[in-house]
Structure 1
Amino acid sequence: MNFKRFVPPTRVLRAGAAMVSIAVLAACQGTPKPKPAELPANVALMGVRQAWSVKLPAVSFPLQTSVSGDMVAVAGADGTVVMIDARSGQEVWRGSAGAPLSAGVGSDGSLAAVVTRNNELVALQGGKVLWKERLTAETFTAPLVAGRRVFVQAADRTTSAWDGQTGRRLWVQTRTAENLVLKKPGVMLAVGDTLVTGVGGRLVGMNPANGTSRWEAPIAAPRGTNDVERLVDLTGSVSRVGDSVCARAYYSNVGCVDTQRGMLVWTKSASGAEGVSGDDRLVFGTESNGNVTAWRRTDGERAWLNERLKYRTLTAPLSAGRSVILGDSTGLLHFLSREDGSPLNRLSVDGSAIVATPVLSGNTVVVVTRNGGVVGYRPE
């Protein structure tokens, strides 16, 4: 089966899965971030052309863009879901979940699934709602659609599986929740015949047939004296190459796990809130201070550090060919060299923040902005 910009945590209440936001003291955020320096004039060492664009309603929720082959699924905050053929930029279909979204979107290229703020899991196919089912708690991680099933991880640590065509719940597994969880996308992907999820600071391999645990590998352990300091949830995009999966623990560590053996290969201290990307040699990540770091995949030793974007608010990176691609909150798309992090090109998309990690479909890099711009770029 193939299956610190501070993010407010939320408190999970037991025996009802009700959730309320908590106020975070200014001390938790530290001193205000300094203003980033002006960027030098762009020197385009690599050509990049815009291939197509599609318009969505505004994106003001933690969107995860889904790629399956040539199909890219995106969603707007109002519940609009669009399936795009990345080769041409044509809309294959457009539909609506019928309510504002808290998480999305997962897709296998045909079926798409999102979660609404009303805690409803909604499956769409061909632009039509196929089914809706109520979840136990709020959800910030996009569903995973794989093997004709839809997998969901809610903020109360409940993981569930649903039949993709009927919406029948196949199984549910509940773990003890921390007092606080991040209001950010977590980790969930298919690796061979194993469902791999993030549970706290651990990467967990589960049997997709029934949800039982096969292995657990700790990337980070809770630390500190209060609930906020002890947050080490795995968050954002991961880098998978074969059986190697590398992930980020919130403001704690970056690490890689051998999913065949269920063993931690390495973990390194790293202060950031966004996910990682990588290739067979390197793992790339953006830090809370705007630095971009590359670690060697084999042992986690640092390969290079780019400080040119310091104090900018960055997305997680995308590794694509000779480039490491990332967006920032001013709407700029940066192309860096995968070899040493030096700049290769820089583009402005539509003037609004880039809100989702760029993704690659075929030879097309797909970018989504806060204003709802979905743009396909083709690097040389």
Structure 2
Amino acid sequence: MSALIGRSRPAACGWILASSAMLLTGCSLWGGPSKPKPAELGPNVPVLPVRQAWTARIGPTTGLPLEVLVQGNTVTLASADGSIAAIDARTGGDVWRASLGQPLSAGVGGDGKWTAVVTQKNDVVVLAGDRELWRQPLQAQSYTPPLVAGNRVFVLSADRSVSAFDAATGQKLWNQQRPGEPLTLRQRGVLMAVGDTLVAGLSGRLVGFNPDSGVVRWEAPLASPRGTNDVERLVEIVGPVSRRGAEVCARAFQATVGCVDAARGTVEWTQPANGATGVQGDDSFVFGTESNGTVSAWKRQDGAKAWSSDRLLYRQLTAPLALGRSVIVADESGLVHLLSREDGSPLNRLSTDTSGISVAPVASADTLVVVTRNGGIYGFRPD
């Protein structure tokens, strides 16, 4: 592996060749000896009282582009070494656990009946509960959790191909290869269902597919490649996204935030934004964290900036979670920050272990669930 520095980004990044695409691996946006000092937090004043309700554990998640899957009262997650756990968010107890015995590159997707992950050997693996049903090889690595919908399993690979499998049997149904820039991120992308359309993030576009055939229905650009070399031209749609009905709001890596009407395939608005993680939102706002730790809110209607907060500068924040009156983000030191959705002012600050948090918090069964790099699972509830 060679180390390169992209001139357009304050980053020291690793690159590896996989299939036909180059992959941006562990990339610290503020790496090196001159890393800025995180902003002082000051004393915690719990305006919104929250208590720790339970804890659980799984293996370390470092290096795994993890998505915590929420299905009713159950959250399903995985560790980098191939352990998968379904946890009851009401109690923190196990619903089931399984171990694949192989490191993972993406997880977890599911629909309540089937659960899907991708191994580092480029196999998509589907389970029913704790029992493995089938596995099928992929033509390239994948860092996006598979989508399980309509009795099918869809996989977005790093070479910008999208594949569909029969969820019960593993039979491959179709594969669609799309062109793109030669560089791609080793980071969670976007793959979701909106009505009867499969929506995937490919380069700087959201693309709508017919899920039965793989035929492209529409393409909606949120950002276009720019620059004079492959590093500067890198642009990808990163997850998570914020969906309200047919409207999907998403981030193009270090380029823009914008919203698309996925029923028509049209772009509603875009705004410049320099972030590396996805967005979340509610009926009024879209929330995101920028690469320097600024937390921002855009008006959902037209993309106008509603507010921004620099209270958490240089803390390497996760993507946010919009929950009630709060916008919730976590950081590299293991702290969870509850901010006001109205203006970004602090409401509370919660502690986990000190290994850091890289996956966005989720909510299930009136519980805020946070997963640390060391595999600590924390459930918090309002007092």
Question: Is 1:77 aligned to residue 80 of structure 2?
Answer: yes
Query: Is the Cα–Cα contact under 8 Å of residues 286 and 292 in structure 1 kept in the other structure?
Result: yes
Give the partner amino acid of 2:72.
G
Displacement of 1:157 in angstroms is 0.7
Question: Is 1:34 aligned to residue 36 of structure 2?
Answer: yes
* C-alpha distance in 2 between matches for 1:130 and 1:113: 10
Q: What secondary structure sits across from 1:351 in the alignment?
A: coil
1:44 maps to what in 2? 46
Query: Is the Cα–Cα contact under 8 Å of residues 7 and 184 in structure 1 kept in the other structure?
Result: no
Displacement of 1:230 in angstroms is 0.7
2:165 maps to what in 1? 162
Give the partner amino acid of 1:40.
G
Query: Is the Cα–Cα contact under 8 Å of residues 8 and 183 in structure 1 kept in the other structure?
Result: no
Displacement of 1:327 in angstroms is 0.4
* C-alpha distance in 1 between matches for 2:13 and 2:280: 24
Q: What secondary structure sits across from 2:238 in the alignment?
A: coil
1:322 maps to what in 2? 325
Q: Return the match for 2:337 from 334, 339, 342.
A: 334
Displacement of 1:177 in angstroms is 3.7
Q: Return the match for 2:134 from 131, 135, 150.
A: 131
- CA, structure 1 residues 125+330, in 2 after alignment: closer, same or farther (shift >3 Å)? same
Identity %: 55
Displacement of 1:65 in angstroms is 1.1
1:359 maps to what in 2? 362
1:251 maps to what in 2? 254
TM-score (norm 2): 0.93
Question: Is 1:181 aligned to residue 193 of structure 2?
Answer: no
- CA, structure 1 residues 172+186, in 2 after alignment: closer, same or farther (shift >3 Å)? same
- CA, structure 1 residues 153+33, in 2 after alignment: closer, same or farther (shift >3 Å)? same
1:282 maps to what in 2? 285
- List 4+ stretches of structure 1 deviating above 6 A: 22-31
Displacement of 1:33 in angstroms is 3.2
Give the partner amino acid of 2:131.
K
Alignment of 1:17-32 (within 5 A): 17=19, 32=34
- CA, structure 1 residues 7+186, in 2 after alignment: closer, same or farther (shift >3 Å)? farther
1:64 maps to what in 2? 67
Q: What secondary structure sits across from 1:67 in the alignment?
A: strand
Alignment of 1:65-144 (within 5 A): 65-144=68-147
* C-alpha distance in 2 between matches for 1:22 and 1:157: 14
- CA, structure 1 residues 134+187, in 2 after alignment: closer, same or farther (shift >3 Å)? same
Query: Is the Cα–Cα contact under 8 Å of residues 29 and 291 in structure 2 kept in the other structure?
Result: no
Q: What secondary structure sits across from 1:62 in the alignment?
A: coil
Displacement of 1:262 in angstroms is 0.9
Segments of 5+ residues of structure 1 without an aligned counterpart are: none
2:274 maps to what in 1? 271
RMSD of aligned alpha carbons: 2.2
Alignment of 1:199-238 (within 5 A): 199-238=202-241
- CA, structure 1 residues 7+196, in 2 after alignment: closer, same or farther (shift >3 Å)? farther
Displacement of 1:29 in angstroms is 6.9
Query: Is the Cα–Cα contact under 8 Å of residues 72 and 86 in structure 1 kept in the other structure?
Result: yes
Segments of 5+ residues of structure 2 without an aligned counterpart are: 1-8
* C-alpha distance in 2 between matches for 1:322 and 1:165: 41
- CA, structure 1 residues 200+7, in 2 after alignment: closer, same or farther (shift >3 Å)? farther
